[in-house]
A and B are shown apart, each in its own frame.
Chain A
């Protein structure tokens, strides 16, 4: 047996699993997005018809889809930099020579990641409560009037962003910490001898050496933030005034509330294409900056 054949043989169980549980469902979902599967088809499969790309065309003509897309881009556009910034900041603090009780803080800051999303979302709903919430209590101590966080279309999304950043930044923080540990101390010493201050050392030594990690983290975070669903589902049900309907939430409503599976799978594929495009763009930018 040649090594190549042995490799294929050894990999084949995994490939078979991926084919059955990934490629086949994706293809089936794509086929479904070309049909008008709806409540009538649920009643009787003979009511199912092939409609080509009509679901996609209708979706692009639906105002709520654009609203959901805008909300998702807003969420990712504000949330991803905030999340990465918080992760990097926390990692730098934990990695600094002055840090004490590193293990304790690392665990404490990572703790939100391992909590159950739905449970903490419900707890945050209490924290954000207009009249009894801890956050408004703190604001009132500072003389700021109560904010109806989840009931006001202008504050609902910022509140969800705040929650998501708190929930997710610990994960990237650990990745950054590992990468920071990998930067040799000698580089900093050399830079210091050359007269580089703290900021110059961060920009000239830390950031360039973190670049591959930063790329990985940004791709993972963008992919995660585009899939916003459980937070609005638990905290706002897409409201108020549709200000927290995300693309995935729209898909859920179309698919499982109205049983328009044709439309819902079309939403899923549009989201997939978007995330694919954004990831390609990130890789392109990363390659450009690496060659500069």
Chain B
């Protein structure tokens, strides 16, 4: 007697399948490539969107960040891009150059819910390439200082430093108390982000002449370079790579160093991994600058719509929905990702989170990285040359000249194409 039941089930399945893909469903299907854990979490926001927009159905395809960049480029080469995706804002210049994304200003101007003034200016600017906006900031990150309150207090400092001279005084005091066994600050030699954050604090850009030449051998960058290298030369920072220490939170917990520069992802990580005895003994602070509070890197993830999409209007509706402050607050509650709109920061849990305060302040002072597709290669060269400078093989000035030479070599093709009149 089980057969009829089975047959009934099959018929029900077939009926539901027909309903799912038959002519009765005339909804627009949006293909949304969502990278990282956010791709999983964003699906919880979509039922509400589909209820508000019954004519649109969203299909989320999740990609791991580690494979996202090659997947995007392959899709562009193979002309099989989705309708929209989220992407790191440092990839926007590259995809814009590939003419894979549509410009968004006109849509922003016409949108009743998106107000440019509500966004952090530096983050917004990181999505602007050649005067055109190609991505809408979704969630943001930047680098701030993580520091040990107890170690600073023991050295006689009640508050974190706000300028380089103050910072050097704190580091000197920490060094005198540590007898050479511990350090003031840890900047891993395999991570270029701290140096780039400090370099962005200067008004001179790192590339010049329409981003066709390195601009490292000048007094401003060299001031940053000398400051950075001196941290190692004076014994404030250990000349180590991440592989040389057990891991950051263990060493931070042990007090091996008092300052570390990182992003919002490490707040949760530190809360989970540091011993309970350190609760309340560490805090975040905005970056000190050469003469007072300084800038940091405009990081984060943007939403972008693809040029090859045949549903650009529907994709934009989804971008608008995900950008609403209320939706951003829900997204923050689900992921812990910092919202890109100031008005979303009024959410109670975010406004009262002491660790988020430094990020909130820093986000008002963030600057975009140079907007060339070659930037990541240039940054890697910065890391390699700087390691040699720190190890004393080059003086900071020779290091800056070497950086210019290597950057000019990387940008050679860009220079030649621009000289030949190409529009990049």
Q: Which residue numbers of A lie inside 8 Å of B, CB to CB?
A: 36, 38-40, 42-44, 47, 63, 151-153, 237, 240-241, 256-259
Contacts and interface: CB of A to CB of B under 8 A. Distances in A.
Nearest to B246: A148
A172 to B, nearest CB: 33
A181 B76 CA distance: 55
A40 B417 contact: yes
A155 to B, nearest CB: 11
Contacts of B99: 43
Contacts of B76: 42
B422 interface: yes
- 10 nearest A-B pairs in the assembled complex, by CB-CB distance: A256-B70, A241-B243, A43-B98, A240-B243, A257-B70, A259-B73, A39-B373, A153-B243, A43-B97, A42-B77
B53 interface: no
Residue with the highest number of chain A CB atoms closer than 10 Å, among B76, B243, B384: B243
A237 B417 CA distance: 33
A40 B413 contact: yes
Contacts of B414: 40
B169 interface: no
Given A47-B417, A241-B190, A257-B69, 4 more contacts: A39-B94, A39-B98, A256-B73, A257-B70
19 contacts: A36-B413, A39-B73, A39-B94, A39-B98, A40-B97, A40-B413, A40-B417, A42-B73, A42-B98, A43-B97, A43-B424, A44-B422, A47-B413, A47-B417, A63-B384, A241-B241, A241-B243, A257-B70, A259-B73
Contacts of A257: 69-70, 73
Interface residues of B, number: 23
Nearest to A243: B243
B24 interface: no
Contacts of B77: 42, 259
Contact of A39 (B70, B97, B242): B97
A42 B70 CA distance: 13
Interface string B82-126: 000000000000100111000000000000000000000000000
B219 interface: no
B243 A152 contact: yes
Contacts of A40: 97, 373, 413-414, 417, 424
Contact of B66 (A43, A237, A256): A237
Contacts of B28: none
B377 interface: yes
Residue with the highest number of chain B CB atoms closer than 10 Å, among A43, A151, A237, A259: A43
B258 to A, nearest CB: 25
Nearest to B69: A257
Interface in B400-422: 413-414, 417, 422
A12 to B, nearest CB: 33
